[in-house]
Amino acid sequence: MALASLGFGSQAVALFQRSVERGRLGHAYLVSGARLEDLELFGRNLAKTLNCETPPRRSPHGTPLDCCDRCRSCRQIEEESHPDVLWVRPESKLRVIRIQQLVRREDKPPRVLTDNVYLKPFQSPFKVSLLVAADRMNTAAANAFLKTLEEPPPHCVLVLLTAEPERLLDTIVSRCLRLNLGGEPGRPHEAHLAWVREFAELAAKHDAGLLPRYRLLGNLVARLGAMREAIEDELEAESPLAKFPDMEPELREQLEREQAAQVEAEYRRQRGDLLGGLYWWLRDVWLHAVGVGQGREVLPELSACSREVARRISAKDAMENLRTLESTQRLLFTNAQEALTLEVGLLKLKL
């Protein structure tokens, strides 16, 4: 599928093609939007365009402006078998992009991002690296990627795809050209929906009174505790601390500090994802409260709960719920006590 016929992101397509026509192809693009599926499709066609062998249009500088979708290069990119195009996606139990995917630490496969960036193109003009859900780079990976981003070779194009660009380092965002596909928000991660579903059903049936809310709060705190333990176990297993017990005390202390910082950063990110699921359900409630909810919910399977709560509260209260949760999220990224912040936030919701 050619860029021009994607059916979405027309402004982003026009901006990209205009910059190429003027000889201003960027070395890094940050492509944001609501749905990762759309972002991947856009990124795939961006890679096809740059390396198309028989493009329907070229810039005055010879760079393709769109793809034919039929040549060998386009077919290989579609099948993810092109030697000059690399996809980097979240992996491991934590579903994060790790430094091992970006920087080679052992002289063996699989291919990593630095291979694709610094080796010369094998068969096409450009080496294209696409990072899916780039906001899910852990701290070590983000810092390593920033070094790559600062001085990429001229034949390299980096494409960051994200539905949450605000979670990327400012230093990464500032070095990228922005392309925004827009669109409606995507669904929260399925792993976090069980708690959101329990909360929504309780709110709809029992008006989420004081005791039920404290029970939900206890479940939330327990889930967050298990989440932190899983993160600690994952990062500890990857750390050199366990592999080299006889390292110098100064180095061990430094690595322990770095690991603790990585645990905290990843925990905060996953906690934000969990509460983000509750935010999108409260948004659905607000849409029903103002009378435009049908067909526009992020969580349509909870529409009955959304309608029931919206029936009991005003549109003003529904909007205040969103502000309350936004405020709670902001406080959680300060030094505020987590348990107290969550307790106050849940009890303030008007349901």
Residue 35's closest CA among 6, 58, 61? 6
pLDDT score of 109: 52
Percentage with pLDDT > 90 across the chain: 34
Whether residue 305 contacts residue 255, with contact meaning beta carbons closer than 8 Å, is answered with: no
pTM above 0.85, yes or no: no
Cα distance between residue 322 and residue 209, in whole Å: 19
Q: Residue 213 CA to chain centroid, in angstroms?
A: 30
pLDDT (tens digit per residue) in 121-137: 889 999 999 999 998 88
Average pLDDT for the chain: 85
Q: Which CATH topology does 3-180 take?
A: Rossmann fold (3.40.50)
Domains 3-180 and 190-348 share a fold: no
pLDDT score of 93: 62
Whether residue 251 contacts residue 245, with contact meaning beta carbons closer than 8 Å, is answered with: no
Structure tokens of 162? Answer: 């994200």
Structure tokens of 168? Answer: 């990327």
Percentage with pLDDT > 70 across the chain: 94
pLDDT score of 303: 92
pLDDT score of 294: 78
Structure tokens of 278? Answer: 């509750």
Whether residue 232 contacts residue 263, with contact meaning beta carbons closer than 8 Å, is answered with: yes
Q: In what helix (H) or strand (E) does residue 98 lie, and over which residues does it extend?
A: none
Residue 157's closest CA among 123, 128, 132, 118? 128
Interval 180-197 mean pLDDT: 75
pLDDT (tens digit per residue) in 79-88: 999 999 999 9
> What are the residue ranges spanned by the domains of the chain?
3-180, 190-348
Whether residue 341 contacts residue 331, with contact meaning beta carbons closer than 8 Å, is answered with: yes
pLDDT score of 72: 95
pLDDT score of 1: 63
Q: In what helix (H) or strand (E) does residue 88 lie, and over which residues does it extend?
A: strand 85-88
pLDDT score of 183: 61
Q: Which CATH topology does 190-348 take?
A: Zinc Finger, Delta Prime; domain 3 (1.20.272)
Interval 336-350 mean pLDDT: 90
SS3 state at 45: helix
pLDDT (tens digit per residue) in 231-247: 888 877 777 776 777 77
pLDDT score of 318: 92
pLDDT (tens digit per residue) in 282-316: 999 999 999 887 778 888 899 999 999 999 999 99
What are φ and ψ of residue 183, in 5° steps? 100, 170
Q: What is the dihedral of CA 76, 79, 84, 88, to 10 degrees?
A: 170
Whether residue 152 contacts residue 158, with contact meaning beta carbons closer than 8 Å, is answered with: yes
Interval 18-22 mean pLDDT: 89
pLDDT (tens digit per residue) in 256-271: 787 787 788 788 878 8
- Paired with 156 in beta bridges are 127
Other Cβ atoms less than 10 A from the Cβ of 159: the count is: 26
Whether residue 12 contacts residue 42, with contact meaning beta carbons closer than 8 Å, is answered with: yes
Interval 141-156 mean pLDDT: 88
pLDDT score of 185: 57
Query: H helices within the chain, ranges in order?
Result: 10-21, 36-51, 72-78, 113-118, 139-150, 170-173, 193-206, 210-238, 240-243, 249-289, 303-312, 315-332, 338-348
